[in-house]
Amino acid sequence: MTDTRKTNSVTLRSNFPVGSSFWAVRRAQWRALGLTDEDMEKPKIAVVNTSSELAICFNHLDAVAAVVKDAVREAGGLPFEVRTAAPSDFIHSAGNAGKYILPARDLITNDIEVQVEGAQLDAMVCLASCDKTAPGQLMAAARLNIPTIFVICGYQSSGHIGDEHVDIEEVFLGAGHHAMGAITLERLREMSEQAIGSSGVCSGMGTANSMHTVCEALGMTLPGHAPVRAYGPKMLVHAADAGRRIVDMVWEDIRPRDILTEAAFENAVRSIFAISGSINTVKHLQAVAAEAGTDIDVYKMYETFMENAPVLVAVRPNGDTSIEAFEDGGGARAILKNLGSLARHDARSVTGGTLGDILSDYTPPDDTVKTADAPLSDKPAIVIVRGNLAPDTAIIKLGLRYDRKLVMTGPAICFDTPIAAIEGLQQGKVKAGDMLVLRGLGVKGGPGMGMASRVVFAIEGAGLSEDVSVITDGQLSGLVNKGLVVGEVTPEAYGGGPLGLIEDGDLITIDVMARRVDAHLTESQWAERRAACAPAELSDQRGYLASYEEVVQPLSRGAILVRPRKDG
């Protein structure tokens, strides 16, 4: 039977010429799988799954994939489930000081390219779950530019100890407190037993829920899909809707680069400010923009928009609103609606229409999400800073914490590993008023970008978060950032970046309102230290991280993997 949705302008790239070598060998394989010749004429849809038994954020995805595949078949498509790497920060950060975490994002992108592009499939449904899956999948969608839609696979339920809320990030924070003797092992053990009550990603406004919001703000999900309770009835309905919609997208020839325009990125950035989202979204969005072949400068977009960046909701730990209340209050769609004229209503969506079409008849169900003209705060939750310590950029996550110190000056105390920094805290080497410099954790210096949050949490556990600042080229937790912390400093220390030239005792000033982080050094002092700096050398890493180190680009390009051009 001929599908009436077909048009003369759409040819399925997966349908090879009959009698060709590609046709013959694939037909032999697929006939052995039980497929018919009629099946092989249908749009062939990759259902990209990161199922894993290693982490609770992924263990429900096989059942979600099954729902999507049934819906694809119902709509006249032929689904193929394909698997990729499934990194969880809380599981995979144990090895190599956490340096596999960011590189795993790009491993997902390349996994997808190998399987989907190699097989010449026609479209993708991506099951977006933990922190690195959504950005890795978005990067692959932008790179391959075949019709793609996202299924948001939901957040976990959190728990309580008595009347006190506890979730996974509070366990992470609690471990830092325990390292400094602020809580007992028994308390930490109890927190870890009560923190997670179901499958899904972290329940606060961390990187996962921030990136789920980004997926919808970019127009890559159907409306009203983010956030959502993991494996609940609503999420399964969403999964089926996406499975049916992707088949139509093939015949309508709606591709990611039609959607991932400047307007889409503006909506994503505005939304992150509005939810006080994760700072990790900055590099992830920059990576997606680069993979889409655009010249969009996401860092500059954040820097420009922070001058008019109302916060419309404060989900834990930014405030007292639960992620469940945010979902029930309209989630990402309510954010886009209540941004009003700040949102780009001309941005396109996987629906085939525009954001304006989506929002025209939509009213948020309650006032959980505030409006841009009556926000929770009119000050930016994320601040891009520069200065002689961060000539390119660095990032401060403030959330709603504008009642704390916004200018701090103090002497540097330098550490090259998180372990050394925590030991320094335990030994009393770090004192109130110090500027703790933690370097060598950048994308090349790691290699792979190390996690600095456990040092931040240990400082908080020591009762010093209001009096000790951290300046690092490493990455930070998307959820919990305590004190005045400057993260993702670029250029990184590796290769002669300014952070690598700082010595113990150098005075440093962080000035949030001036958007600067500076060392009090003269030009001659900088010049002397640069001259004495040893040339950068590749590490002794082996395996994937060795390859990553050679080709990873700086954060200003999203830390994507690109082989340097011979002509520079």
Closest CA to 209 of 138, 266, 140, 277: 277
Instruction: Say if residue 108 is in the same domain as residue 239.
Output: yes
* Residue that the structure tokens 């209340």 belong to: 325
For 471, list phi and psi in degrees, rounded to 5: -130, 120
Q: Is residue 517 part of a domain?
A: yes
Q: Is residue 162 part of a domain?
A: no
Q: Is residue 36 part of a domain?
A: no
Instruction: Say if residue 235 is in the same domain as residue 345.
Output: yes
Instruction: Say if residue 301 is in the same domain as residue 408.
Output: no
Q: Is residue 445 part of a domain?
A: yes
Q: How far is CA 105 from the centre of its chain?
A: 9
Q: Domain tally for the chain?
A: 2
205's tokens: 């406004």
What pLDDT, on a 0 to 100 scale, did the predictor assign at position 1? 37
Instruction: Say if residue 446 is in the same domain as residue 326.
Output: no
Instruction: Say if residue 140 is in the same domain as residue 286.
Output: yes
Q: Is residue 56 part of a domain?
A: yes
Instruction: Say if residue 426 is in the same domain as residue 327.
Output: no
Q: How many whole angstroms separate alpha carbon 98 and alpha carbon 300?
A: 28
For 530, list phi and psi in degrees, rounded to 5: -65, -40
Instruction: Say if residue 212 is in the same domain as residue 250.
Output: yes
What pLDDT, on a 0 to 100 scale, did the predictor assign at position 390? 97
SS (H, E, C) 304-367: HHHHHCCECCCECCCCCECHHHHHHCCHHHHHHHHCHHHCCCCCECCCCCEHHHHHCCCCCCCC
- Which of 327, 359, 391 terminates a domain? The answer is 359
- Which of 359, 390, 425 terminates a domain? The answer is 359
Contact between residue 45 and residue 247 where contact means Cβ atoms under 8 Å apart: yes
Contact between residue 217 and residue 288 where contact means Cβ atoms under 8 Å apart: no
Q: What CATH number is attached to the domain comprising 460? A: 3.50.30.80
Alpha helices, DSSP H only, in 360-497?
418-426, 453-461
For 30, list phi and psi in degrees, rounded to 5: -75, -30
* Residues labelled as active-site residues: 477
Q: How many whole angstroms separate alpha carbon 543 and alpha carbon 550?
A: 12
Q: Cβ-count burial of 322 within 10 angstroms (0-12 exposed, 13-18 middle, 19+ buried)? A: middle
Element at 285 (helix H, strand E): helix 280-291
Instruction: Say if residue 335 is in the same domain as residue 398.
Output: no
Instruction: Say if residue 228 is in the same domain as residue 145.
Output: yes
Provide the residue range defining the domain that includes 221.
Answer: 45-157+198-359
Closest CA to 452 of 472, 436, 432, 466: 472
- Per-residue pLDDT for the chain (568 aa), expressed as one digit of tens each? 345 455 557 899 999 999 999 999 999 999 999 999 999 999 999 999 999 999 999 999 999 999 999 999 999 999 999 999 999 999 998 888 888 999 999 999 999 999 999 999 999 999 999 999 999 999 999 999 999 999 999 999 999 999 999 999 899 989 999 999 999 999 999 999 999 999 999 999 999 999 999 999 999 999 999 999 998 899 999 999 999 999 999 999 999 999 999 999 999 999 999 999 999 999 999 999 999 999 999 999 999 999 999 999 999 999 999 999 999 999 999 999 999 999 999 999 999 999 999 999 999 999 999 999 999 999 999 999 999 999 999 999 999 888 878 999 999 999 999 999 999 999 999 999 999 999 999 999 999 998 899 999 999 999 999 999 999 999 988 765 678 999 999 999 999 999 999 999 999 999 999 999 999 999 999 999 999 998 888 888 889 999 999 999 999 999 999 876 555 4
Q: Is residue 131 part of a domain?
A: yes
Closest CA to 267 of 195, 212, 336: 336
Element at 74 (helix H, strand E): helix 61-74
